[in-house]
Chain A
Amino acid sequence: MKLLVCISKAPDTTAKISFSDNDTKFNESGVQYIVNPYDEWYALVRALEIVEKNGGTVTTITVGSSADDPTIRKALAIGANDAVRIDSEALDASYVAKQIAEYAKDKEFDIILTGKETINYNGAQVGGMIAENLNQPFISLATKLEIEGNTATLERDVQGGTEVLETQTPFVLSASKGMAEQRIPNMRGIMAARTKPLNVIPAIEIENLTSVLSYSLPDAKSGCKYIDPENMDELVDLLHNEAKVI
């Protein structure tokens, strides 16, 4: 099996979010980057489990600059065979998806895996767009993946439940919680990652369809009103008359 896993970097989940340049840029100073959790914990690990069982290779792909290399090396340390970085700023989801589709279109990957969403942009967009660009089925929010020959059985979250479905390779999926268990890279993996291939290739010339005009932070809460734990009637009264949510 030939698997491609889309890896992006994301600010550490405890990073302080602030903006610079008149609120048009994410302020990166002091921010630690991690591999986007959905990409690492679920998409990558499940891909590795599949090739461990069926044979094959796992390639990771990232649209980004050399600032992404440490997170790409982490994915290699966890076990991916090789990595591709398309050397460009990720301008928007359609831009990223077109770059990845362009790379993948003649390489016959059996499955392309993305995370459910990036935790910085939360778009949940890139996977579906790659699928459309390659004219392949897209299984979003997949929580399970089993593969038997060319036939894959998957589960995904849908309104009010879980769908069990079947499709044939090639296809694209976005991986959600439940698909695999997080793996911690060991020393051997980290050493091996240093010499695994990370191929940097140029981006194709395309235009982005959206851009961020500005960012803002939500209004701070005005403060917490404390209520006597013995007096829940007061809370209900406040929720009804003051907050008007009941």
Chain B
Amino acid sequence: MSVLVFIEAKSKVSKAALEAVSYGSKIGSTTVITYGNINEQELTVIGEYGAEKILVNRSLNESNDQQLTNLISAAVDHTGADVVVISQDQTGKSIGPRVAAKLNAGHVSGAISLPETANGFVVNTNVFSGKAMAKITVHSDKKVISLLPNSHAPVKTNGSATVEEFNADLGEGRIIVKELKTQGEGIPLPEAELVVSAGRGLKGPENWGIVEDLASTIGATTACSRPVSDIGWRPHHEHVGQTGIAIRPNLYIAAGISGAIQHLAGVNGSKVIVVINTDSEAPFFKAADYGIIGDAFEVLPRLNEAFKKFQSSQN
């Protein structure tokens, strides 16, 4: 099968992008389509993850849903791709369905497995906010797969890719970007492998220092429960759960969070869950791998010290 992988690589190729490339190359011979003025050196990394060719459009600089859709569709015509793979980051969420509609292709949203092709074309996704999985059959000839970040580990191959400029009629962009307010340097939550999260048990925003200290020691991204972002203790983009962001890190440390079903829905895809709660009856312990019945105000700083000790022993 011929595969086209779209990645957004503004200045650096992200981990989510490498996941998508690696995933695509497991399905078939893979061409990557990207845009912007990223330098060629940086792009060659993609070849090490299984892509054979990289098409880059230099005329487009801004993520614009209609122009990107036209770009991807032109690249599908150019390569004859049967399958389009898009990493389901925020850009992916805005263009994946659109590309599928343009190609009249069946769309798998939030894929977590490679396609099984023994009997049709079947891909697994999470549904019911992570409380269940579904096998989705795609009936159309062309297929679009939006790959959930952190669900396919990128694997290095010995390959390398050629880079080609790719021009196409992109039409007009009807969205004008006025400003980008950045969130800072940290790893965005959906891509984070390590997450430290806290809830109402922390009592107030002034107490978040112990959460941030632990996160910075291990290089984790911070998250929170919904009430904490609703009352404005923490920004909305940290809210995880059924009505917030769904995440699947390797490690999720939750302090002072009761573990309501709506919270669990967004985090139970985590590989390992550590729960810190004063209440031994907190429902979160049922979903935890490691539990600490104790006061977050004591346990978090102690855990931070233990990690620091561990890190210095490793050096």
Contact = CB atoms under 8 A, between A and B. Distances in A.
Interface of A: 11, 13-14, 17, 19, 37-38, 92-94, 97, 119-129, 131-133, 135, 137-141, 143, 153, 156-168, 171, 177-178, 207-218, 221, 224-230, 232-233, 235-240, 243, 245-246
Interface string B160-184: 0000000000000011111111110
Nearest to A209: B106
Most buried by A among B129, B176, B177, B299: B129
Interface in B242-291: 242-244, 246, 250-251, 261-262, 265, 268-269, 271-275, 285-291
A129 B291 contact: no
Interface of B: 8, 14, 63, 65-66, 69, 89-91, 93-98, 100-102, 104-110, 122, 126-140, 174-183, 188, 193-194, 218, 229, 236-237, 239, 242-244, 246, 250-251, 261-262, 265, 268-269, 271-275, 285-295, 298-299, 302-303, 305-307, 309-310
Contacts of B268: 218
A17 B236 contact: no
Given A210-B108, A232-B302, A239-B251, A140 B188 contact: no
Nearest to A127: B97
A216 B127 CA distance: 10
A240 B272 CA distance: 11
Contacts of B180: 158, 161-164
24 contacts: A13-B243, A119-B129, A120-B128, A122-B126, A125-B107, A129-B100, A132-B97, A133-B101, A138-B66, A157-B90, A164-B179, A178-B236, A209-B100, A216-B133, A217-B132, A217-B133, A224-B286, A226-B293, A228-B292, A230-B302, A232-B299, A233-B310, A237-B310, A246-B194
B127 A122 contact: yes
Contacts of B275: 224
A126 B127 contact: no
A221 B286 contact: yes
B93 A140 contact: yes
A122 B241 CA distance: 12
Contacts of A153: 178
A246 B140 CA distance: 42
A14 B139 contact: no
Contacts of A240: 310
B291 A236 contact: no
Contacts of A11: 128
Given A140-B93, A229-B302, 17 more contacts: A13-B243, A13-B262, A122-B109, A123-B107, A139-B175, A160-B182, A163-B179, A171-B174, A177-B243, A209-B139, A212-B134, A215-B134, A226-B290, A227-B292, A228-B292, A229-B295, A232-B303
A158 B104 contact: no
Contacts of A123: 97, 107, 109-110
Contact of B98 (A128, A165, A210, A213): A128
Contacts of A236: 303, 306-307, 309-310
Contacts of B107: 93-94, 123, 125, 129, 209-210
Given A236-B310, A246-B251, A37 B243 contact: yes
Contacts of B65: 128, 131, 137-140
A119 B95 contact: no
A245 B251 contact: yes
Most buried by B among A120, A123, A137, A212: A123
Nearest to A240: B310
Contacts of A19: 132
Contacts of B93: 124, 128, 140-141
A121 B127 contact: yes
Nearest to A211: B137
A208 B175 contact: no
Contacts of B136: 210-213
Contacts of B289: 221, 224-225, 243
A166 B41 CA distance: 34
Closest 10 CB pairs of A and B: A229-B294, A209-B106, A128-B97, A140-B94, A132-B101, A232-B306, A123-B109, A125-B97, A161-B182, A164-B179
